Amino acid sequence: MSGNQRQAPLAAAMKAYAAGGALAFHTPGHKQGLGAHPLLKELITGAGLRQEVSLMAELDDLNCPNGCIREAQALAAELYGADDAWFMVNGTTGAIQTMMMAALEPGDEVLIPRNAHRSILGGLILTGAVPVYLPPVLDEQLGIAMGLTAETVAEGLAAHPGAKAVLAVYPTYYGVTFDLASVAALAHAHGAMLLVDEAHGPHLPFSGELPAEALALGADMAALSTHKLLGSLTQTSMLLAKGPRVNRERVRRAGSLLTSTSPNYLLLASLDIARLQMAEYGDALVGRAVRLAEGVRAAVNDTPGLWCFGPEYLGRPGAEALDATKLTVQTAWLGLTGAAAETVLRRDYNLQLELTDAYNVLFLLTMADTEREAYALIKALKDFALRHRREPLARTRLVLPELPVRKLTPREAFFAPSEAVPFALAAGRTAAEEIGFYPPGVPLLCPGEGITTALLEHLQAMKEAGLRVSGPEDPALGTIRVVR
């Protein structure tokens, strides 16, 4: 690794420009803080406002970089073992959609896990690609969707030999990983690319106690949410590429199409600095997060009424390993849904967690956490369990009905005129929206798919079981939006 990893070239260029004192007759309108409102000055330091500029020759151009941005991206690629890295300021949504637009064309088939993030649906609409949905493994005890099995991917590729890509989610939101190396080998053997939504794995390369990162397992491109688990600002991400299958010029053009021509340089600099922080202290900081998380997990599992699954619970197809920094605490044994537990934890203990579902709450420990935060979490959870235990929740068996028949592509359904119709009258129509439930967070209906009476009955049963509706315009399911 080069000695330049100890530098932050983009951040340095911005600091140098501000120090130069050039009289500003350019955007932004606050003129390097001169006209900023006092509230804005409270949010951003004077130094930050002086550096909140863009597109000066010294500061390079994100859409066609050949200076400090290019250097910063090259350092990020080197740190992650990639051939190329692109900075993203419109979130991992933008990174995923750039990746899809670079790899797919209208009409191309792409294999996608059914529990993929909604940004992937946006990518399907933008590209005009045709989804082939694959069922993830469902875990009855946790009530959540896990990953894909190599067998499921192999069956999908055999049934769709012309598929141009497999788009995997690795790790899942809950930190579960699967045999991505086998998926990569299968995809490449069929002439398909492996694209990875690695939003929840930007920290994986910095601890040998964590699962391997996607690029090390054969992925061609991976989208990383550096803001989620590292030190960059919200809305920043990276897109990484490795190997000969990636058309770099397509990536550049797609990114330019989807990104503002006036990207915020404070966001860009935060990516450069987050990379610097990992180069300097990544192993120590992420290693500490892993150790703290294991301590919290052990304490939770020593608390009656609570359970936090660990690596020993996994080791099977579709759920091979775990990012230990994700703490999924099951509250169902206390008799509380995840949502009810979240309310109590926020109100009575001033804890804000990351995610809830019907049976669990999810806490993230990151490189920022110390023994102080870990101890506070343990103390709160033990007191919470002591004070709120009741009869365990009755479980709803997780059953996914047969996937609906695709009538239109997501793109066709998006642009088609649509209307809301009464739920009971939607059979025979084509969906114009997505409908799913938590748990397990797997869409039961996606745009462009046909609606059947059996599917409506299943949706109604899930709703009556008290599961949380996700996706539709009308969460009460009084109506469903369909293609007119």
> Is the separation of the CB atoms in 424 and 476 below 8 Å?
no
> Is the separation of the CB atoms in 102 and 221 below 8 Å?
yes
* Cα gap 262→61, rounded to integer Å: 9
As given in the structure block, the two tokens for residue 10 are 């983009």
Coil/strand/helix, residue 482: strand
pLDDT band at 34 (very low <50, low <70, confident <90, very high): very high
Task: Name the nearest CA neighbour of 165 among 130, 134, 194.
Answer: 194
Looking at 130-139, 167-176, 287-296, 432-441, which range is the least confident one?
Answer: 432-441
Beta-strand (E) ranges in 229-312? 237-241, 307-308
List the domains of the chain with CATH numbers: 283-387 (3.90.1150.10), 410-483 (3.90.100.10)
pLDDT band at 398 (very low <50, low <70, confident <90, very high): confident
Listed in sequence order, the residues at least 6 apart from 23 whose beta carbon sits closer than 8 Å to its beta carbon are: none
> Is the separation of the CB atoms in 300 and 381 below 8 Å?
yes
- Residue 438: exposed, middle, or buried by beta-carbon count in 10 A (0-12, 13-18, 19+)? buried
Task: Name the nearest CA neighbour of 184 among 128, 138, 243.
Answer: 243
pLDDT tens digits for 332-380? 999 999 999 999 999 999 999 999 988 999 999 999 999 999 999 999 9
Return the half-sphere exposure (C-beta side, CA atoms, 13 A cut-off) of residue 340: 18
Q: How many C-beta neighbours within 10 Å does residue 5 have?
A: 16
First to last CA, the chain: 57
Coil/strand/helix, residue 364: strand
As given in the structure block, the two tokens for residue 72 are 């910063």
Q: In what order do the strands lie in the sheet with 326-330?
A: 307-308, 326-330, 360-364, 355-356
* Cα gap 45→34, rounded to integer Å: 12
Identify the H or E element spanning 76: helix 68-80
Residue 27 reports pLDDT greater than 80: yes
pLDDT of 284 reads: 98
pLDDT tens digits for 240-253? 999 999 999 999 99
Q: Residue 33 region, left (φ>0) first, then alpha (ψ -120 to 50), else beta?
A: left
